[in-house]
Amino acid sequence: MFANGRTHLAIPGPSVTPDEVLRAMHRTSTDIYGGALLDMTVSIYPDLQKLARTASALPVIYLGNGHAAWEGAIANTLARGDRVLVLATGNFGIGWANQARAMGAEVVVVDFGLTTGIDLSRTEEALRADLASGTPYKAVLMSHVDTATSLCNPVLPVRQVMDAVGHPGLLMVDCIASLGCDRFEMDAWGVDVMVATSQKGLMVPPGISFVYFGAKALAAREGVGFVPAYWDLKPRANPPAFYGLFGGTPPVQHLYGLRAALDMIMAEGLENVWARHAGLAQAVWAAFDAWSAGGPVSLCLSDPSLRSHAVTAAYAGPGNGDALRGWVTKFTGVTLGVSLGRDPAADYFRVGHMGHVNAHDVFGVLGAMDAGLKALDIPHGEGALAAATKVIAAAAKKAA
């Protein structure tokens, strides 16, 4: 009834694509061996470095999704039989572990569950025991933000623990959900490999992914005996021609879209982008706090310091997650995210607030959800929208 008109995608990726990006992509293919495309593409790499806060790491672009980025990172740094430690806090940490295992690595998973984040004492214990074994882990893998749980893990403390025990492994971080949303400092936090994609904080449709290789990771590449030709970073780092940057035909339209998205991010300022995401996330949390005062609807993470600024995972009561998602799609044109990795999945849902999103987008989503709770007779506290607007008003007053 009320869903006609422009719909809104509030899932945690793919995120909403800005009109500027769509216009940049709306073009026929062009000469892929040089000219304007080459000049434009060369300009992308320095801005990708700025986005990750690195002065020296090499960003490599692959045609593919996040799973492609995982594979590109593993293929260039791990040989078959290498041991790796995975610090898992949700569905995607387990997924990266499974992919490393399928590619021949010997994988040890420390699973911290869905709500508590990485425990540094347990991490230190695992690393010390590993050093005593005589065959240390080649890498430690972790998610900055696990999109399934919405849990944001502090990265620097993990590096500090590795350094404190003298562990030589690479620190490899999944930033697929966090890049361009939550603060990430590749150099300052001592990250050796970072993976990301185009379709979340970078606001570009799915299709390209990024792996950043620091100096230690580039050195590790030399010790890997076999790397499949497509994934090999070496010809992409020093290609004989522009064609070699992508292992073949470049993703022409995606590159133009990425250039437009990076222009938008740089014009706003990365610090301002992070602040916008933080403020909008806090508005979402304030609404949930109000709802939770009178019913089952609640945030999955009780500690605000562990919550991502890109996505929020929530509980709605038995079967209510699916019911609420279905109602808001049918009657308001808002699409909420399904739950991943929680059982029963129908009780949960996720709200994406990443990338090209502002206050009126968030207010619209929260209003649609509030109407759905009322229409479905799901018990909930009142004042959610008022609480959200107070957060934004206070933040705007402080920034003025």
Residues annotated within a binding site for substrate: 350
What would the two tokens of residue 73 be? 């990172």
Q: Do 59 and 214 contact (CB within 8 A), yes or no?
A: no
Rounded alpha-carbon distances, angstroms, from residue 174 to 18, 51, 125, 211, 255: 24, 15, 22, 9, 22
Distance CA 11, CA 358 (A): 15
Residue 367 CA, chain-centre distance (Å), reads: 26
Contact predicate 203/355, CB 8 Å: yes
Report cis status (omega within 30 of 0) of the bond before 344: yes
CA proximity to 77, closest of 92, 95, 58, 90: 58
Q: Using CA atoms of 218, 64, 229, 234 in order, give the dihedral in degrees to the nearest 10.
A: -30
Q: Which amino acid is at 22?
A: L
Cβ-based neighbour number of residue 362 at 10 Å: 22
Please return the burial class of 297, using the count of CB atoms within 10 Å of its CB with bins 0-12, 13-18 and 19+.
buried
Torsional class of 247: left (φ above 0), alpha (ψ -120 to 50), beta (otherwise): left
Structure tokens at 23: 């216009």
Report DSSP letters for 9-51, one per residue.
EESSSS-PPPHHHHHHH-S----SSSHHHHHHHHHHHHHHHHH
Residues placed in the known binding site? 350
